[in-house]
């Protein structure tokens, strides 16, 4: 009897557990509403919920598309102009307040790039937009010796808060001029390749240096602008820039600016200073009083010390580059052929021009624009300075006061006080 009762209890328990298992299996197959995604939640912001005050919720306005005329590039795409919005916090005490309305300078960013550079230049664009241009919405000009493809235009346009312009470089600005002996130029490249001089065997690099030295500011797309900021692929900006750099240049009568300076490779410019001296002798009227010769030469101009401003970052005045003084200067250099018979870079070409044709106080060092272009870093000296500007650079990487930098020369020439702590960053 006891055994029979035990069996009945076991049957009841088995039945109970079986029913529970069937219940859980059936309930797990019932469709459930999905968890809300970020886009769902963001979409809800445009709806008025019960209890919300009338007019308390705003839906961001849609972006507007505006065509940018560009006769030099038949494949040009529409330019996307994003809504002018600002999410700025308080700026540092020493800087003007960032403005998104009011006076804007006649200025643009300019980038020389190939279609294959897309995924490197977008990194630079994000840096510039996040740290500066989201507040000011300046235009951006892209130049290429080949037409930009649709992907390049669409991706870059989507990231830039100002208008975008895409231009094709004229063939005469990206080729051997008629007066160049191409066989002699070829032999030079072969010799530099054997000596392992950086870019010594490259034709395209020489075209680039000549174009940046004498022609980018003449491009039809650039003619409408007065100021430029040069941006190259894969750069970084480490600090917030909460004021309009173009207005700063205008208001303080600056024509050219830099963040990094260093010595040029001697093997690439053996006769550059000879051409410069020829220009000086032929055009003494173009040499500015109180110029920056002391940055360029240690003996009053007899020889060149090879110091130059690193031109992958520049903010400058286009009217100066279009002046008769600069035109005569470039034409002398171009005539002498050193872009092809040697490997003259646009950095020493621009730097020498700034040092001779401008007053030394028309050249500005942007200490607060923390910048990286492989392999060098400019990181502002001073901890509180970096904290105020939300910088993320490592001060140990700062190149300014190293032995191969020329920035100390610039400070000495202008009798500027070096920042506190600079000695700790010397070699």
* Tokens read off for 344: 């003259």
Catalytic site residue 236?
no
How many CB atoms are closer than 10 A to CB 359? Answer: 13
How many CB atoms are closer than 10 A to CB 127? Answer: 19
What is the 3-class SS of 12-47, one letter each residue?
HHHHHHHHHHHHHHHHHCCCCCCCCCHHHHHHHCCC
Cα–Cα distances in Å, from 395 out to 259, 313, 368, 383?
A: 15, 19, 13, 8
The single residue of 129, 264, 314, 362 carrying the catalytic annotation is 314
E-state strands within 232-313: 236-237, 256-258, 261-263, 307-309
Residue 77 backbone zone (phi > 0: left; psi -120 to 50: alpha; other: beta): beta
Cα–Cα distances in Å, from 110 out to 8, 144, 192?
A: 88, 11, 30
Query: Which contiguous run of DSSP H or E holds residue 144?
Result: strand 139-144
Provide the annotated active-site residues.
Answer: 314
């Amino acid at each position: 009897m006891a055994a029979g009762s035990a069996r009945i209890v076991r049957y009841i328990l088995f039945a109970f557990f079986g029913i529970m298992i069937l219940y859980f299996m059936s309930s797990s197959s019932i469709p459930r509403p999905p968890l809300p995604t970020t886009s769902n939640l963001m979409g809800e912001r445009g709806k008025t919920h019960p209890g919300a005050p009338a007019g308390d919720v705003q839906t961001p306005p849609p972006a507007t598309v505006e065509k940018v005329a560009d006769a030099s590039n038949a494949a040009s795409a529409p330019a996307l102009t994003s809504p002018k919005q600002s999410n700025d916090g308080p700026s540092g005490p020493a800087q003007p307040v960032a403005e998104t309305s009011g006076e804007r300078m006649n200025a643009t960013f300019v980038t020389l790039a190939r279609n294959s550079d897309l995924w490197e230049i977008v990194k630079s664009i994000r840096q510039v937009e996040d740290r500066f241009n989201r507040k000011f919405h300046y235009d951006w000009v892209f130049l290429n010796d080949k037409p930009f493809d649709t992907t390049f235009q669409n991706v870059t346009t989507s990231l830039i808060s100002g208008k975008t312009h895409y231009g094709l470089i004229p063939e005469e600005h990206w080729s051997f001029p008629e007066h160049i002996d191409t066989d002699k130029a070829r032999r030079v490249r072969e010799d530099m390749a054997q000596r392992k001089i950086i870019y010594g065997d490259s034709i395209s690099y020489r075209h680039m240096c000549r174009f940046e030295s004498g022609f980018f500011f003449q491009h039809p797309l650039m003619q409408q602008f007065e100021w430029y900021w040069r941006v190259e692929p894969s750069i970084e900006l480490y600090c917030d820039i909460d004021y309009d750099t173009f207005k700063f240049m205008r208001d303080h009568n600056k024509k050219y600016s830099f963040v990094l300076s260093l010595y040029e490779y001697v093997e690439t410019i053996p006769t550059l200073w000879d051409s410069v001296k020829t220009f000086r002798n032929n055009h003494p009227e173009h040499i500015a009083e109180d110029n920056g010769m002391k940055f360029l030469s240690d003996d009053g101009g007899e020889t060149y010390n090879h110091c130059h401003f690193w031109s992958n970052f520049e903010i400058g005045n286009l009217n100066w580059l279009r002046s008769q003084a600069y035109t005569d200067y470039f034409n002398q250099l171009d005539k002498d052929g050193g872009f092809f018979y040697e490997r003259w870079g646009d950095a020493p070409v621009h730097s020498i021009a700034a040092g001779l044709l401008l007053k030394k106080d028309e050249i500005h060092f942007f200490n607060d624009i923390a910048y990286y272009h492989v392999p060098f870093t400019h990181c502002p000296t001073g901890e509180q300075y970096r904290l105020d500007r939300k910088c993320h650079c490592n001060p140990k990487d700062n190149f300014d006061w190293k032995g191969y930098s020329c920035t100390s020369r610039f400070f000495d020439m202008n009798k500027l006080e070096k920042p506190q702590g600079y000695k700790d960053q010397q070699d």
